[in-house]
Structure 1
């Protein structure tokens, strides 16, 4: 790194990359423009929402993140070719093929020298930051997920017991708020169906069953009294403290620190508004020393907040979205759509995306999942000095074999994408202007 009073760094941040098809054959100018952008920054980041394996390394888990993800290991090289050099790996698909799929993915990434974080053979490995050496200094990145099957959570190692492979978790607690009359009615229902008796039995034989003091526990959920009905969420205290401790460690070991969170959770009124605990955690990460918070997970854009002169991206949406061309799927997902042994993968994708009249539904029917941005951040002295938002399209309306690969969005579409992101960011007092085909964030 050259000697200077104010160290500088350029970061290109993208959202979810679900790659199942090669990228290198394509030569469109709008596609290669993105590749050039990724190659001309110090750090190019994406969420690796894919498992690299050949279907022989493990077995499908009883529960997946949705689609059972699988990609040929050679496709990892396509991501390198595109320009990425930093990968978040903790997400709801990390354990779709259980421990075998996880270990295969780690082996592929390690063989290719791809810097990743968020997964490991135990919690210490999964929670640890990864370090990327750049010409502008050392960059740390930590990856965690709040969306995952409970059994996918990495476990701590003890002197007398092995740790558990899995993801670095950020659990959270949800409390449902009810007015006094409605809460009392719920307590009466709990008693009437025998749930209170079952709770008493568990306590009597020594199993964990929380006492109902300020919080009333019903069928695995927490209810509290309040004036108006509502929902509130808070980070799980132990996961919060554990992740913040490693952010503080990385702050002392690197020139820049990035935090990645994969989170589907939202406010009840809209998937585009993050759950309360996500903002709480994002602020805590910046306070602990992070220079940028890179959110993703819901597959669509959420707003941008500038907090203490550092960017918080609540969701960068999709970057590569090829979840309809996984070549093999386990029987579990066929059964989900009431398909038999004779069905093929295309039958699953049809059942998931076509209604009874043959009209598109789900992801392919909603443009928000196919329009996103690449965030280009310029840092000077650890503070954000300039932030550009390069709009991209993943081919909304294209046939299945052609949608899901990013290209630069232009003209009216580019303006529409930036306008939508500006509207989502306004509640955070973030101003975004459309200039020369891209969004420019006003930095105070």
Structure 2
């Protein structure tokens, strides 16, 4: 009896490849970006070099960044900061990120509360309306701590996120109050055990529902030299991998820190800035603030297969306006390869 191609596939005989292997999903392409301290809609009109950035990221299943600004809209509260350290933007900055292809953001950071609890809820609503997956803040501690999920043609991916340091009184989520999922550090220097357990439990729960889990920490417990990674963060990152995270990504310091692999999983201790619009005077930040990477990573069944590290350069100039331009362009340096998978 002759078998057609469909019958051969069902029988696991196509080109001698077992049927289970023939049906295996393709690798998931996940792009990890530095934090986006975006204060204006930089996409209208597009900045010079934006098209090249968009083309470089096109086709990714997930594009992830840190929305490091409060969103000003209906329901937002009055500013909780003044001057150059207030970061609040209109919802069209989210439209700009979406135009670039961003599908997923963490909202756990020290500026999420710059327009109070109302600003946190306004950001959540604005992201939901635009179909951007988000984690790290919520209407209470339970929702702020748990994973958010994105379904892609290559499988399901989860995001769990939290913030450590510089979370002011009133900004942290509680059982009764909207806010940020906070990880506190005790006077001893150790992380609060209850916060750690809650976070690791959220990662484990996410891993039970998604093969690929991203954990993001926005950290402001900095070392004296900002480029140095705290030892506690290295230990915590490894605990996150042990709990089921496919990768650990950190933001917070306005420059890059190191990277490593642990049990095959990539750990990015500080990806610096993807967009960095600041009111501070020209020269307030050193050259390292204006350099970063696009991490173009691939995962197979949640396991890291390697990544291309694409250098980007940010424009530090103000051009006479209130904010530094702060937008990225592809740098002249070539991409490098990181990681070999497990």
TM beyond 0.5:
yes
Distance, in Å, in 2 between the alignment partners of 1:262 and 1:282 is 12
Change (3 A) 1:106 1:64: farther
Task: Name which of 69, 75, 81 aligns with 2:93.
Answer: 75
- The alpha-carbon deviation at position 25 of structure 1 amounts to 3.5
- The alpha-carbon deviation at position 283 of structure 1 amounts to 0.5
Distance, in Å, in 1 between the alignment partners of 2:100 and 2:239 is 33
Change (3 A) 1:6 1:107: closer
Q: TM-score, normalization: structure 1?
A: 0.68
Indicate if the aligned counterparts of 2:108 and 2:161 stay in contact, CA closer than 8 A: yes
Q: 4+ runs of 1 displaced by more than 4 Å?
A: 26-29, 63-66
**Residue 325 (structure 2) aligns with:** 403
**Residue 202 (structure 2) aligns with:** 246
**Residue 258 (structure 1) aligns with:** 214
CA RMSD of aligned residues (A): 2.2
**Matched residue of 1:141: which SS?**
strand
- The alpha-carbon deviation at position 403 of structure 1 amounts to 2.5
**Residue 378 (structure 1) aligns with:** 298
Is it true that 1:441 corresponds to 2:330 in the alignment? Answer: no
**Matched residue of 1:272: which SS?**
coil
Is it true that 1:128 corresponds to 2:48 in the alignment? Answer: no
Change (3 A) 1:384 1:112: same
- The alpha-carbon deviation at position 60 of structure 1 amounts to 1.8
Aligned residues: 318
**Residue 264 (structure 2) aligns with:** 309
Superposed CA offset, 1:415-444 (max 9, x none) = xxxxxxxxxxxxxxxxxxxxxx11222437
Is it true that 1:22 corresponds to 2:35 in the alignment? Answer: no
Change (3 A) 1:55 1:111: closer
- The alpha-carbon deviation at position 124 of structure 1 amounts to 0.5
- The alpha-carbon deviation at position 22 of structure 1 amounts to 1.9
**Greater C-alpha radius of gyration:** 1
**Residue 9 (structure 2) aligns with:** none
**Matched residue of 2:64: which SS?**
strand
Distance, in Å, in 1 between the alignment partners of 2:171 and 2:24 is 44
Is it true that 1:53 corresponds to 2:66 in the alignment? Answer: no
Task: Name which of 294, 299, 302 aligns with 2:254.
Answer: 299
- The alpha-carbon deviation at position 32 of structure 1 amounts to 1.2
- The alpha-carbon deviation at position 267 of structure 1 amounts to 2.6
- The alpha-carbon deviation at position 150 of structure 1 amounts to 3.5
Distance, in Å, in 2 between the alignment partners of 1:388 and 1:80 is 22
Indicate if the aligned counterparts of 1:52 and 1:76 stay in contact, CA closer than 8 A: no
Distance, in Å, in 1 between the alignment partners of 2:26 and 2:338 is 21
**Matched residue of 1:277: which SS?**
helix
Greater helix content: 1
Indicate if the aligned counterparts of 1:95 and 1:166 stay in contact, CA closer than 8 A: yes
- The alpha-carbon deviation at position 103 of structure 1 amounts to 1.5
Indicate if the aligned counterparts of 1:64 and 1:93 stay in contact, CA closer than 8 A: no
- The alpha-carbon deviation at position 53 of structure 1 amounts to 0.8
Distance, in Å, in 2 between the alignment partners of 1:141 and 1:64 is 31
Indicate if the aligned counterparts of 2:71 and 2:123 stay in contact, CA closer than 8 A: yes
Indicate if the aligned counterparts of 2:213 and 2:302 stay in contact, CA closer than 8 A: no
Indicate if the aligned counterparts of 1:305 and 1:311 stay in contact, CA closer than 8 A: yes
